[in-house]
Structure 1
Amino acid sequence: MSWNTLTRQVHRWLSIVFTATVIANFVAMGIGEPPLWVVYSPLIPLFLLMLSGLYLFALPYALRSGQRTSG
């Protein structure tokens, strides 16, 4: 499995985890005052999504500039 394929898979699974933590956050807020770890739990997958998303966003540009310099 290539690095790009692995990054895409991780990004997809992180989006599922992020969505689940946000839903859990809203459910906990509907029940009452949630603990702080529930409130801040979406931040970890969100940060990892940002890193993998920036990598995937820059990937076509890096590949295109690499082809231009080698040719």
Structure 2
Amino acid sequence: MSAGGWIRPCHRWTAIVFTLTVLANFAARALQGGEPPAWITYAPLPALFLLLLTGLTMFVQPYIARRRSGKPLLHA
């Protein structure tokens, strides 16, 4: 499986994990009525960091592929 083959599913599943942790954060705030423990507040951050890495990788892949193929990056 190529890099593009595993990065996209990883990005999608990380987005699901991130969404669930954010929802859990809001639920904890609503049920507790105040500030939840720090580990609940910061739980979405590892998934957010992975989303940043995988998203930037997917963004850069077409440019790397074009550079490797020898095609110009800008069309005149």
TM-score normalised by L of structure 2: 0.85
Indicate the residue corresponding to 2:10 in structure 1.
Answer: 10
- By how many angstroms is 1:50 displaced? 0.2
Q: Computing the radius of gyration over CA atoms, which structure comes out larger, 1 or 2?
A: 2
Q: Greater shift after overlay, 50-59 or 31-40?
A: 31-40
Equivalent residue pairs, number: 69
3-state SS in 2 of match to 1:34: coil
The one of 36, 52, 55 equivalent to 2:57 is 55
Question: Could you tell me the percent identity over the aligned residues?
Answer: 49
Which residue of structure 1 lines up, in the alignment, with residue 46 of structure 2?
44
Mark the runs of 5 or more structure 2 residues left unpaired by the alignment.
72-76
Deviation of 1:54 after TM superposition, in Å, equals: 0.5
Q: Which structure dedicates a bigger proportion of its chain to helix?
A: 1
Q: In the TM superposition, what whole-angstrom CA distance separates every residue of 1:25-69 from its partner, at most 9, and x where no partner exists?
A: 000011123111000000000001100100000000110111117
CA distance in 1, matches of 2:7, 2:31: 36
Unaligned 5+ residue runs, structure 1?
none
